[in-house]
A and B are shown apart, each in its own frame.
Chain A
């Protein structure tokens, strides 16, 4: 059970949009629409921002959106704000064990 693959870092300027990819396999990301995304600020617990590929929990900004194509899921943040600077992790359901995270992506808002 390998971690999902994410870019180590991405950056963007305020107001721009960025996309973070999350690549798995046909056994996890490609097999189920159970991809979640989390935001983690330094020293804080993670926060669920997307579930079931593209659904947002109550209270999460609609600037966050998700999608999936084949074995790759993506998180898009539009209208970047300084407060979006954080680490972002994807996660996928795997039927055999629990869930599996991606390696994480550090977002820098320039």
Chain B
């Protein structure tokens, strides 16, 4: 069974750093892209960035380029999203999602449960 399990909720202050995680299981972690999606309170979904753990290739959506860093450790089947200096506006729910290409293009065929990040002074 494919599963993506995310790290727990975080409460941080502006200017602090943060790294959240998403552990994949039940499939070949290095054979699928994995991405992060932001959902701000009461708002819609936004693709942020994706990574291919097989070769660490990355792509960023323009609004998030330079604002966050996506990475992966294939030895433990875990993807990460990190901030070096959080802002109030980073308060949101963050989902990781697997993207499948090949037998159809299926971005988000599996999703994590979400990590709630709250940034407040």
A interface, by DSSP: helix, strand, loop or mixed?
Answer: strand
How many whole Å from B65's CB to the nearest CB in chain A?
A: 9
- On whether A57 and B60 interact (CB within 8 A), knowing A89-B44, A91-B47, A101-B47, the answer reads no
Q: Which residues of B contact A (CB under 8 A)?
A: 35, 37, 44-50, 59-63, 95, 97, 99, 104-109, 111-114
CA distance A38 to B108 in the complex (A): 9
Q: Which residues of A contact B (CB under 8 A)?
A: 1, 3, 34, 36, 38, 40, 45-48, 51-52, 55, 57, 87, 89, 91, 93, 97-104
Contacting residues, chain B, for A51 (C-beta < 8 A): 104-107, 109
The answer to whether A38 and B112 touch across the interface, beta carbons within 8 angstroms, is no
CA distance A87 to B43 in the complex (A): 11
The answer to whether A3 and B49 touch across the interface, beta carbons within 8 angstroms, is no
How many whole Å from A102's CB to the nearest CB in chain B?
A: 7
CA distance A91 to B111 in the complex (A): 15
The answer to whether A52 and B104 touch across the interface, beta carbons within 8 angstroms, is yes
The 6 closest A-B pairs by CB, nearest first: A104-B44, A45-B111, A34-B105, A98-B47, A51-B106, A101-B45
How many whole Å from A110's CB to the nearest CB in chain B?
A: 23
What are 10 pairs between A and B in contact, CB < 8 Å? A36-B106, A38-B45, A51-B104, A51-B106, A51-B109, A57-B106, A91-B47, A100-B61, A102-B44, A103-B44
For B108, the closest partner residue in chain A by CB is: A48
- On whether A45 and B112 interact (CB within 8 A), knowing A99-B107, A101-B45, the answer reads yes
The answer to whether A98 and B59 touch across the interface, beta carbons within 8 angstroms, is yes
Contacting residues, chain A, for B105 (C-beta < 8 A): 34, 36, 51-52, 93
How many whole Å from A74's CB to the nearest CB in chain B?
A: 18
